[in-house]
Homo-oligomer: A and B are copies of this chain.
Amino acid sequence: MRLQVPGYQLLSQASNLNYSFSGTGVNVSAALARLGHTGYLISRLPDNPIGDAAEAHLRKLGILPNFLTRGGKYLGMYFLENGFGARASRVTYSNRQESSFNTAPEQTYDYKVIAQQIDVVHFCGITLAMNDLVRQHMKALARAVKEAGGTVVFDCNYRPAHWGDGGYAKAKPHYVEMLQLADIVMMNEKDAMLILGMDTNKTERSEQLQDLIPQVAAAYDISVIAGTHRSINGDNTHSLRGYVYKDKAFCYSELLTFAVYDRIGAGDAYTCGIMHGEFQGFSPQQTVAFAAASGMLAHTIVGDTPMSSERDILRAMVDAVGDVER
């Protein structure tokens, strides 16, 4: 649950909040639904009006509620204060460890039944950071999908705050396990160096990427690895270049530079672009261009969750900036 101060006030100035329900899982499932796929969320919500509200909002985003269960006491929340220019946006988490999702007991999800009804499952490194209970669910489900012949997508998404001190060492075995199960992986050279502890003698970011990603793909037998390099410019714009590594070759998108309205969730839009390209059989070049445009558009959308249709993204690949559509 995202509780956002409207406009640019601080929590100590304002007196109302916009709320929505998001998270990587929500964003990916909803964005893929928008692109024409059937999206589910596998999660646990409290059996109270907050849980009802979450389900209603997820449905609105196009997510089917079939794999949502109810139980536990509350929903993890975060507060968002929008930054402006030199003042960065600020996220304050409320406690998450006791949330319905993070306390879901062992029998909550029927991995086999789920695995039979889906083609692809997506996991995120943020979830991996939660606790052992959650990690067990993740790994068991990944294995079940794999066994059922499905595709496993894993987004490394390492968040230092969640792993705490000595986090990389704690995280490594779990990441290794997930990478072994994954077919499509979202990461870049930093993940390889910091989490997996890999070395390179290159000093430049793009060279490090070219050196390490093929090693990761080989080591863990991963079909597709993809990710982005982002830079934040002085004038309130961001620049983004996406890459895909597949069949031992790299493909890059153009460097896109654009104004930013809401940065949160834009990485998930990139991921969905990659997934959509793979599912539709786009060439790697098409896929990475589509994913980068998908990510760019997500920066212009209110809320965490990408809302662009395939048609919207294809048009954004042609016209960088357009006049009113009428």
Contacts and interface: CB of A to CB of B under 8 A. Distances in A.
Interface string A302-323: 1100011000100010011111
A297 B86 contact: yes
B10 A307 contact: yes
B49 A89 contact: no
A220 interface: no
A223 interface: no
A163 interface: no
Q: Which of A18, A81, A95 has the most CB of B within 10 A?
A: A95
Given A50-B92, A92-B48, A232-B321, A15 B7 contact: no
A325 B86 contact: no
Interface residues of A, number: 84
Contacts of A11: 49-50, 52-53
A64 to B, nearest CB: 8
Contacts of A94: 50, 73-75, 77, 94
A233 B234 CA distance: 14
Interface stretch (A171-179, A202-210, A256-264, A273-281): A256-264
B258 A56 contact: no
A159 B326 contact: yes
A100 to B, nearest CB: 10
Contacts of A316: 86-87
Contacts of A235: 235, 237, 259
Interface string A15-30: 1111110000000000
Nearest to A232: B321
A301 B85 CA distance: 10
Contacts of A302: 7-10, 13
A261 B321 contact: no
A229 interface: no
Contacts of A3: 3, 17
A305 to B, nearest CB: 9
A258 B83 CA distance: 13
Contacts of A62: 56, 59
Contact of A325 (B20, B60, B90): B90
Contacts of A13: 56, 302-303, 307
A49 B326 CA distance: 12
Contacts of A233: 321
14 contacts: A10-B301, A12-B49, A12-B55, A16-B16, A49-B81, A50-B94, A77-B94, A86-B296, A86-B300, A88-B319, A91-B324, A232-B323, A234-B320, A235-B237
Interface of A: 3, 6-13, 15-20, 48-50, 52-53, 55-57, 59-62, 73-75, 77-79, 81, 83-95, 97-98, 159, 161, 230, 232-237, 257-261, 263-264, 296-297, 299-303, 307-308, 312, 316, 319-326
